[in-house]
Amino acid sequence: MYAEHLLKMNSLVICLAFSVVVGVIGFVSEAATTAYLYAMIELLILTYSLNLFTGFSGYINFGHVIFYGIGAYVVAVLAFNLAALLPTFLYVIAGAVFASLVAIAIGFPVLKLRGDYFAIATLGVNEAVRVIIINTRDLGESRGIAILGYIPTYDIRSLYAMLLATLFAVILITHFIYRSRLGYGLRAIKDDEDVAEAMGVDTRKYKILSYSIGAFFAGLAGGVVTLLYAYAFPDYFVIGRTIDMLVSMVLGGFGTIIGPLIGSVVYFVAKDALLIQFPFYHQVIFGIILMGLILFIPEGIVGLINRLLMKKGKKVRLE
């Protein structure tokens, strides 16, 4: 009974409500809880940003984490060189903008590729960026860039607020794109790219557009985390984060509005619990879970719920 009421409510409302609740809890709690929620919200943002491209268009992007790292490094470089000349949040925005510009630059050639080829090429791009950074002195090589003292330190609550704002933004954008022409075209591309093109969809433009919008939000998250640790280093580009994002997205449900939320929360809580129980095995377990999901429940939790709804003859669909 409650469930039906819940479903009738817009997915958007649920997500926003959730964000508000988490936000409030984060503000009033002690630092440890806030830190926990910070990490969870960061995962949420990353998953939503990946969902904007991979979820909507069906193109698997194994290298999404580079935009997170680029956002981080831009903030670090700006802080290092300009210190407190400009308000720090501008650095964060600059990082995100730069990340989306890089996405456009990469997208132009790489999005000419289809399916598998594109996915592996993104792996290559990820590695290439990491290797280049490790070998560039000005970018701190493998030590990274420390910016302690260059800019005022922020306590976790203000950064938490920044992150929350980003979360709100990405949820809203997801909702709008889902209902917009862009989202519609992306869904057609996901179903059958050739036919979509033959029906008038400018596939190149839409793919690049969603790729760079996703990059923007990942970049924001990266910028904020640099402020948190006052440090940017190559580990931001590690594939482990990609697994986090991918599993969360697949678990929740590709290309939906509420999917990334459900998936990320479940994944985050489970991962944290497993981390304590099996400090080393948890990654192995999640690899197996990913395989299991793809083989048996590729449509994720949202897909499962929708299937159940259809079986019961309900017309409502969870988005």
Q: How far is the CB of 131 from other proteins (least distance, A)?
A: 5
Q: Is 21 in the site for other proteins (CB under 8 A)?
A: no
155 or 191, CB closer to other proteins? 191
29 or 283, CB closer to other proteins? 283
Residues 46-85: x where in contact with other proteins by CB under 8 A, - otherwise, as a string: ------------x-x-x-----------------------
Q: How far is the CB of 284 from other proteins (least distance, A)?
A: 4
How many angstroms separate the Cα of 187 from the Cα of each of 24, 29, 82, 116?
35, 41, 43, 18
Could you give the CA distance from residue 157 to residue 313 in angstroms, rounded to a whole number?
A: 46
Token output for 163: 């992150």
Distance of CA 14 to the CA centre of its chain: 19
Could you give the CA distance from residue 271 to residue 39 in angstroms, rounded to a whole number?
A: 12
276 or 295, CB closer to other proteins? 295
Task: Count CB atoms within 10 A of the CB of residue 198.
Answer: 9
Could you give the CA distance from residue 69 to residue 25 in angstroms, rounded to a whole number?
A: 28
Q: Is 294 in the site for other proteins (CB under 8 A)?
A: yes
**Crossing angle for the helix pair 300-311 and 239-252, to the nearest 10 degrees:** 10
Q: Is 111 in the site for other proteins (CB under 8 A)?
A: no
Q: How far is the CB of 210 from other proteins (least distance, A)?
A: 15
* DSSP code string of 50-75: HIIIIIHH----TTTHHHHHHHHHHH
Q: Which of 82, 97, 125, 165 binds other proteins (CB under 8 A)?
A: 125
Residue closest to 227 by CA, chosen among 171, 174, 168, 166: 166
Residue closest to 70 by CA, chosen among 49, 41, 86: 49
Q: Which of 23, 185, 260, 300 binds other proteins (CB under 8 A)?
A: 185
Q: How many residues does the chain have?
A: 319
Q: Is 192 in the site for other proteins (CB under 8 A)?
A: yes
Q: Which of 143, 181, 307, 317 binds other proteins (CB under 8 A)?
A: 181
Q: Is 143 in the site for other proteins (CB under 8 A)?
A: no
149 or 292, CB closer to other proteins? 292
25 or 195, CB closer to other proteins? 195
118 or 168, CB closer to other proteins? 118
Q: Which of 187, 270, 274, 309 binds other proteins (CB under 8 A)?
A: 187
127 or 272, CB closer to other proteins? 127
- Candidates 8-16, 39-47, 95-103, 294-302: pick the segment binding other proteins (CB under 8 A): 294-302
Amino acid sitting at position 239? I
Q: Which of 170, 171, 245, 250 binds other proteins (CB under 8 A)?
A: 250
Q: Is 124 in the site for other proteins (CB under 8 A)?
A: yes
Q: Is 239 in the site for other proteins (CB under 8 A)?
A: yes
Q: What is the 3-state secondary structure (H, E, C) of 176-230?
A: HHHHCHHHHHHHHHHHCHHHHHHCCCCHHHHHHHHHHHHHHHHHHHHHHHHHHHC
DSSP SS3 for 145: strand
Asked if 304 and 256 count as a contact pair (C-beta separation under 8 A), the reply is no
Could you give the CA distance from residue 280 to residue 294 in angstroms, rounded to a whole number?
A: 23
Residues that bind other proteins (CB under 8 A): 58, 60, 62, 109-110, 112-113, 115-117, 119-121, 123-125, 127-128, 131-132, 134-135, 181, 184-185, 187-188, 190-192, 194-204, 239, 243, 246, 250, 280-281, 283-284, 286-288, 290-291, 294-295, 298
